[in-house]
Each structure stands twice: as structure tokens, then as C-alpha cells.
């Protein structure tokens, strides 16, 4: 067997594989001999079929199969030994005139080669890394939510501005009959809230669905209808009041602190505020990191210049999926995925240049921490190491889950590389201002 390569240019090559008779003849002969032993052909006893008849009936199919196996093994071995960094898979050049009665065969494959390039993390313009803080306003709002959650309901005679009202939305034509508990601040207009103020248990308030809430999802929940049913819905519904309550806020005392933080010692409002701030800012880190990661990724894709073997990749995409595509479909798919492919190559280069590695121990430890956190949510605060080991083993037996964790860890390690080596500026701001700056004031 002989394999040669011709580089068309820096991104494309053609590999030629020449297969001689001695490369496959012994294997084909052995398979045909085995066929002869088991062939069940009318008129002949098993094992006594003439070899000529076996070759005539099975010879070409066995030859084609063995040559193809030999071809794939040789090609894969060649790519590995030559350390060729290829994109997609080798594409066989069309051959309509293969003479399978010949002794020797030649096959050609097109290769798309990965480009060579350098990655510069130090951008001229600094990339913003946000440091999101929990300000006093957020902490005050969180404490009020906690006090409401742990407070008690006191029945009221009439509805006032801050009442919690239980009742049923009904509309006979649309078969709406749904009981909910609501507060007046949920309605879009002040005029709607005024319809409730002063009402008593048993009173019926008639409402128009159009413009009742800011968000259609609130209307879906109120009427227990799906998205299509509430879209553009403009009808009247009756709300029959069955309960009116005042929610009295829970006292900020030791009993409440112990309910909130049974595993930690919180003994004052100052410590409560500190703990709420700490917990909130831990959650903000992930959101800020994701924004930073997105911005670095965008910078790298836009500023790391290299060419791709575009025509090869379009041809490869035509046949690589479950459904074969024509060239126009493949071109459209390539244009959609080009940015992602570029980042994959950049990421691979950064992983190699910075020696980013994830070991099996890293994956297992991450899985155990993830499981421990999930168990804590259900009150299992101190699982044994054996429990964690056993559950982690079951989780990681799923290859997709193990790969997902591995990719997550690589992303985390690359994030640390970016924080260390990229040109960044830290901007501290509240969560409310972060949302306004990053996503717009909605």
C-alpha cells in the first residue's frame, strides 16, 4: 500500500491511496474459505461447495468490503501519524469507473486543513468585566419579601391597596373558571386597582382582559389559558371575591433568622443584611462571568483573522448530516455555523497554548459538588463520601453528561485565562444598573 499527499494550497490537500493485491488477497481468501464451510447452496453438502462457485457468488462483495475497510483504516492511521489537523472528514473524490476485476486500486480523498494562526488576547480597547453588587435597595426589597413570605394573613372586611385577594376569574363563553390569589400592584392600570378597593367578600368585579397586565404570561396564569388563547384576547371576565386578607410582615427576630439560616449563626438584622448581600453577590458572579465570556468570545472571533477551506466545508456539509443537502442549503448552513466553527478553532488554540487540561478527577469532583448542592436543596446537608461517589459514578456513566461537565470545566478554566491575560477593566455597579446597561432598560 502506498499513500501520498498533494497540498493544493495551505487549506486544501488531496490524499491518494494505492492498494495492491497483496494488501487484501489473504484476508479475502480467508473470508471466502470460511463462507465455503458454512454456505448453504442447493445441490451441495455444507462445506463441499466448489470454491469457484463461492467466489462467483460472494467474491466481489467480499473484495469491495475488505478494500473499503482497509482504505478507512489506512487513511485514519495516515492522518494520525502525519498529525494532520483536518476539518470535517476526508471526502472521497467521485470514481464511477472502478474496475473491481483489477488487482490494484487507487482512491483519492479531498482534505480540508485547519488554518495556522495566532491568538492575541490583549485587545487595544479594554473589555468590561462587571462586578455586580447588592445595593441597599435590593437588600431592603429582599428583606421585605422574606417578611411577607414568613408573615401571617389576617382577614379583612374590605379590599384596601395592599390586600391579598383570593377569588375566581370566570367567563362562561370561553369556559374560564380559575381561582387565584392576587395583589393589586399586578394590574397594569391604576383604574383596574380602583375597581377592587372597598369591595367585600362575595362581590363581583368585571374586568376587560385587553391591557389587564403588562405581560401576557400573567394573563395566562390568571385565566389558566395557553399562550395562543390569550394572544389578542379581548373579552370581559368576572372576578368573584372569596377571601380578603392583610399580610402582616414577620418580625425580624431570632426565630426568623434560624428559619432562614439553620446551619449558620445569624443573630441581628445587620448580620442578616450581610448574609443576604453575600448570597446575592455569589449568584451575580455567574451572570457577570457569562457576560464577560460572551464579550471576550465576540472580540476573539471578530479580531482573530484566518481563512477557512470554505468550499470544502460546504461540500462536506452536503453529506455529513442525517439528510443530504444541495449546495444552496449547505452554503446557508455554512454561513450559519461559520462563526461557531471559528471560535471552536480559536478555543482549541487557546487550550493548547495555555495547557488547559481537565482530568477525570476534576470531572468527578465537580459532579460530587453538583450532587451535594442538589441534595442540600432537599435538606440532605451532610451526605457521606460513599453516597456522593456512588451517585457521581452513575451520573458519569452517561457519556453525554460526562462530556457536558468536561466542557463546563474547560470553559471555567479558559475564563480564568481570560481574566488573567485579557485587557480588561472592572466596572462595579448594582444589579439593576447592570441589567439596564447590558440588556437595556425594559
Task: Per residue of the chain (442 residues), give pLDDT as tens.
Answer: 999 999 999 999 999 999 999 999 999 989 988 888 877 777 777 777 788 888 888 889 999 999 999 999 999 999 999 999 999 999 999 887 888 889 999 999 999 999 999 999 988 899 999 999 999 999 999 999 999 999 999 999 999 999 999 999 999 999 999 999 999 998 988 899 999 999 999 999 999 999 999 888 899 999 999 988 888 899 999 999 999 999 999 999 999 999 998 878 899 999 999 999 999 999 999 999 999 999 999 999 999 999 999 999 999 999 888 889 999 999 999 999 999 999 999 999 999 999 999 999 999 999 999 998 888 777 777 888 898 999 999 999 999 999 999 999 999 999 999 999 999 999 999 999 999 999 875 4
Residues of the chain with CATH 3.10.50: 152-248
268-439 carries CATH number 3.30.2310: no
Rounded to whole angstroms, how far apart are CA atoms 402 and 294? 24
Question: What is the predicted pLDDT for the residue at 37?
Answer: 82
Residues of the chain with CATH 3.30.70.1050: 2-113
Q: Which CATH number fits domain 152-248: 3.20.20, 3.30.70, 3.10.50, 3.30.200?
A: 3.10.50
Residues of the chain with CATH 1.10.3120: 268-439
Question: What is the predicted pLDDT for the residue at 327?
Answer: 93
Rounded to whole angstroms, how far apart are CA atoms 264 and 278? 13
Question: H/E/C letters for each residue in 50-101?
Answer: CHHHHHHHHHHHHHHHHHHHHHHHHHHHHHHHCCCCEEEEEEECCCCCCCCC
Q: Spell out the long-range contacts of 272-278 with Cβ–Cβ below 8 A and sequence spacing 24 or more.
A: 272/143, 273/139, 273/143, 276/134, 276/139, 276/142, 276/143, 277/133, 277/134, 277/139
Question: What is the predicted pLDDT for the residue at 441?
Answer: 57
Question: What is the predicted pLDDT for the residue at 42?
Answer: 74
**Fold assignment, 2-113:** Alpha-Beta Plaits (3.30.70)
Rounded to whole angstroms, how far apart are CA atoms 257 and 136? 19
Question: What is the predicted pLDDT for the residue at 45?
Answer: 74
List the grid coordinates of 8.
493544493
Amino acid at each position: 500500500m502506498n499513500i501520498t499527499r498533494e497540498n493544493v494550497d495551505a487549506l486544501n490537500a488531496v490524499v491518494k491511496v494505492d492498494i495492491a493485491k497483496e494488501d487484501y488477497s489473504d484476508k479475502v481468501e480467508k473470508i471466502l474459505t470460511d463462507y465455503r464451510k458454512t454456505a448453504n447452496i442447493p445441490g451441495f453438502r455444507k462445506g463441499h461447495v466448489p470454491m469457484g462457485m463461492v467466489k462467483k457468488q460472494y467474491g466481489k462483495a467480499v473484495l469491495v468490503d475488505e478494500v473499503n475497510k482497509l482504505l478507512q483504516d489506512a487513511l485514519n492511521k495516515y492522518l494520525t501519524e502525519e498529525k494532520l489537523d483536518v476539518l470535517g472528514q476526508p471526502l472521497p473524490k467521485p470514481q464511477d469507473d472502478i474496475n473491481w476485476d483489477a488487482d490494484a486500486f487507487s482512491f483519492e480523498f479531498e482534505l480540508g486543513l485547519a488554518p495556522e494562526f495566532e491568538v492575541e488576547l490583549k485587545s487595544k480597547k479594554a473589555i468590561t468585566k462587571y462586578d455586580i453588587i447588592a445595593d441597599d435597595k435590593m437588600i431592603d426589597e429582599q428583606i421585605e419579601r422574606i417578611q411577607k413570605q414568613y408573615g401571617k394573613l389576617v382577614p379583612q372586611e374590605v379590599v384596601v391597596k395592599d390586600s391579598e385577594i383570593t377569588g375566581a376569574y370566570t367567563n362562561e363563553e370561553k369556559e374560564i373558571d380559575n381561582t387565584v390569589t392576587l395583589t393589586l400592584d399586578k394590574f397594569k392600570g391604576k383604574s383596574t386597582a380602583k375597581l377592587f378597593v372597598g369591595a367585600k367578600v362575595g362581590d363581583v368585579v368585571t374586568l376587560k382582559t385587553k391591557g389587564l397586565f403588562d405581560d401576557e404570561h400573567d394573563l395566562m396564569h390568571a385565566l389558566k389559558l395557553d399562550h395562543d388563547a390569550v394572544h389578542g384576547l379581548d373579552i370581559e371576565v368576572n372576578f368573584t371575591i372569596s377571601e380578603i386578607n392583610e399580610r402582616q410582615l414577620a418580625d425580624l427576630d431570632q426565630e426568623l433568622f434560624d428559619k432562614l439560616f439553620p446551619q449558620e449563626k445569624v443573630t441581628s438584622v445587620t448580620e442578616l443584611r450581610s448574609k443576604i448581600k453575600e448570597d446575592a453577590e455569589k449568584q451575580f458572579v455567574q451572570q457577570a462571568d457569562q457576560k464577560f465570556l460572551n464579550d471576550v468570545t465576540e472580540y476573539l472571533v471578530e479580531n482573530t483573522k484566518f481563512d477557512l477551506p470554505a468550499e470544502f466545508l460546504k461540500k462536506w456539509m452536503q453529506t455529513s448530516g442525517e439528510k443530504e443537502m444541495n449546495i444552496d442549503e449547505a452554503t446557508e448552513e455554512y454561513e450559519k455555523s461559520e462563526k461557531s466553527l471559528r471560535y471552536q478553532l480559536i478555543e482549541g488554540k487557546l487550550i493548547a497554548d495555555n495547557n488547559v487540561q481537565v482530568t477525570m478527577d476534576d470531572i468527578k469532583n465537580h459532579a460530587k459538588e453538583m450532587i451535594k448542592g442538589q441534595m442540600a436543596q432537599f435538606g440532605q446537608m451532610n451526605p457521606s463520601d460513599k453516597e456522593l461517589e456512588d451517585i457521581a459514578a452513575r451520573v458519569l456513566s452517561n457519556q453525554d453528561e460526562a462530556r457536558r461537565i468536561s466542557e463546563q470545566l474547560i470553559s471555567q478554566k479558559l475564563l480564568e485565562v481570560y481574566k488573567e491575560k485579557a485587557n480588561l477593566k472592572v466596572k462595579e455597579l448594582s444589579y439593576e444598573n447592570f441589567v439596564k446597561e447590558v440588556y437595556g432598560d425594559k
